[in-house]
Amino acid sequence: MDRIHRFAREKLKIHSDKMKQRLDTTSTETAFKPGDAIWLYAPKRTKGKSPKLQSNWEGPYTIIKKINDLVYRIQLSPRSKPKVVHLERLAKYTGHNPPDWFVVEDPPPRTEDSVIRDE
């Protein structure tokens, strides 16, 4: 019985390694930064219309903040409520008129006076 379990574990390990390798070759590492224009995947079903003919993408949204590697805070307009969404629901906006209402704030330049010294 132990020999059969060991054999099964080995085969599962080989198969899972192949699946991971296949997934890694097809996936792309996408990273957005604050101020980027993006589409949001948000499918909705409208009664009486074919789902094939409905648009599943909303936007263009603007990236407000990168919370971590996979989660972003986005906003449609300056007055709309921000949304927190996963990276898999976002796609780069390639339209002609990206939203320009969001201004990325650069940190103020450091000067000698702004440096706190421990003396």
pLDDT digits (tens, 9 = 90+) for 84-112: 999 989 999 988 888 888 877 666 666 66
Q: What is the pLDDT of residue 106?
A: 63
The answer to whether 36 touches 60, Cβ cutoff 8 Å, is no
pTM above 0.75, yes or no: no
Residue 58: C-alpha distances to residues 19, 50, 61, 76, 113 (Å): 32, 18, 8, 9, 47
* Backbone phi and psi for residue 46, each to the nearest 5 degrees, phi listed first: -100, 125
Q: CATH fold of 2-92, please?
A: SH3 type barrels. (2.30.30)
Per-residue pLDDT of the chain (119 residues; tens, 9 = 90+): 999 999 999 999 999 999 999 888 877 777 899 999 999 999 988 889 998 899 999 999 999 999 998 899 999 999 999 999 999 899 999 888 888 888 776 666 666 655 555 44
Residue 38: partners with Cβ closer than 8 Å, 6 or more residues away: 32, 59, 60, 61, 62, 63, 74, 90, 91, 92, 93
**10 Å Cβ neighbour count for 24?**
9
- Cα 5 from Cα 75, distance rounded (Å): 52
Q: What ranges do the domains of the chain cover?
A: 2-92
Q: What is the pLDDT of residue 111?
A: 67
The answer to whether 40 touches 83, Cβ cutoff 8 Å, is yes
Q: What is the pLDDT of residue 97?
A: 84
Residue 46: partners with Cβ closer than 8 Å, 6 or more residues away: 54
